[in-house]
Amino acid sequence: MRVYRHLNDFKAKRPVVTTGTFDGVHTGHKKVISRLKEISSETGGESVLFTFHPHPRQVLTPEEHNLRLINTLEEKINLLRETGIDHLIVYPFTREFASLSYTDFVEQILVNLMKTSCLVVGYDHKFGQGRKGNFEYLHQCASKFNFRIEKLDVLLVNEVNVSSTRIREALEEGNITLANEYLGYPYELHGKVVEGKKMGRTIGFPTANIESSEVSKLIPGYGVYAVKIWSGGKRYNGMLNIGTRPTFNNNADLRSIEVNIFDFNENIYHQEITLQFFDKIRDEQKFPGKDELILQIRADKESAMMRLSRLQDDL
């Protein structure tokens, strides 16, 4: 897959194009991408995905400060590379670009610069200034500029349409199982191990405190989770607590992320780490004292080991 940050050197054979933010690169997105590749193969063309960075809302409504993304840009690029598309355009999203009408976007970008032969869109696709460019308008543009257009139906999982918004909601609620089902892969969080209060080691459960690699990355809701951890090229099982520690925190929404890695006794301060979420064990709660907390953490560990073992059996 070739990645472009502008269109100056873009060149593709009979480009079959889709556009969108593609946050999550979820199962619904992959349905569009699969059809994109099918048409490319049928027509002797090449598949092209046109996305934006930063996210449009970060440019158009920066005062909100509440947008949380499923993927960082690096994660999104890696996920799209795995789909096997030929070309990825990560176009700079600016206020000037946002001011383009849908007709100008089609004519200036899709037709003049990209030479689009076919445009594949999702069922609710809208674009251009004010998101006025819907399928009916696109169909008129396709006739005017002589390119093919195809709209795909919504992908349903358990009779619910899959969308980035629904995945964000599931993650914020701590519903990891549902989020992973919609995503088609385990939700991941990348970050660095930072100094903490070292309270965990005093009760026999040392934890690594994680600072997310990107402040706008969505951190799941408060609670205890069964996770797998990538560190130093190796994967470990573990349990993770997401809570609040506002005084010493640079994560989104001031959430603390503390992971206990099973069968692990290494110093990994300041190292990069990857967390894969598989299941939620319980909500965050307060305990009367240390003894009650230790008993619960032991139960949490057993639960995490059982859930992760069952996952391995399913594989």
DSSP 236-266: EEEEEEEEE-GGG--SGGGEEEEEEETT---
pLDDT tens track for 168-182: 999 999 999 999 999
- Note the pTM of the prediction, 2 decimals: 0.89
Single-letter amino acid, residue 203: I
Question: pLDDT band at 102, cuts 50/70/90?
Answer: confident
To 10 degrees, what angle do helices 176-183 and 164-172 make?
160
- Of 2-6, 9-13, 287-291, the least confident: 287-291
Residue 159 has pLDDT above 70, yes or no: no
**Amino acid letter, 83:** T
Decide: 132 and 140 in contact? Cβ < 8 Å.
Answer: no
The answer, yes or no, to whether the previous bond of 54 is cis (omega within 30 of 0) is yes
Measured distance CA(113)–CA(115) in Å, rounded: 6
pLDDT, tens digit, 9 for 90 and up, residues 255-278: 889 999 998 888 888 899 999 999
For the stretch 205-258, pLDDT in tens is 888 899 998 888 999 999 999 999 999 899 999 999 998 754 445 666 668 899
- pLDDT > 90? residue 291: no
More confident call, 71 vs 135? 71
Q: What percent of the chain has pLDDT over 70?
A: 87
Radius of gyration (C-alpha) of the chain in whole angstroms: 22
- SS percent in the chain: helix, strand, coil, step 5: 35, 30, 35
CA distances from 189 to 13, 145, 217, 257 (A): 36, 43, 8, 10
Stretch 19-41: mean pLDDT: 94
**Residue-averaged pLDDT of the chain:** 88
> How many CB atoms lie under 10 A from the CB of residue 214?
17
Give the domains, in start order, of the chain with CATH numbers: 2-153 (3.40.50.620), 187-314 (2.40.30.30)
Could you give the percent of the chain with pLDDT greater than 90? 60
Q: Return the pLDDT at 247.
A: 40
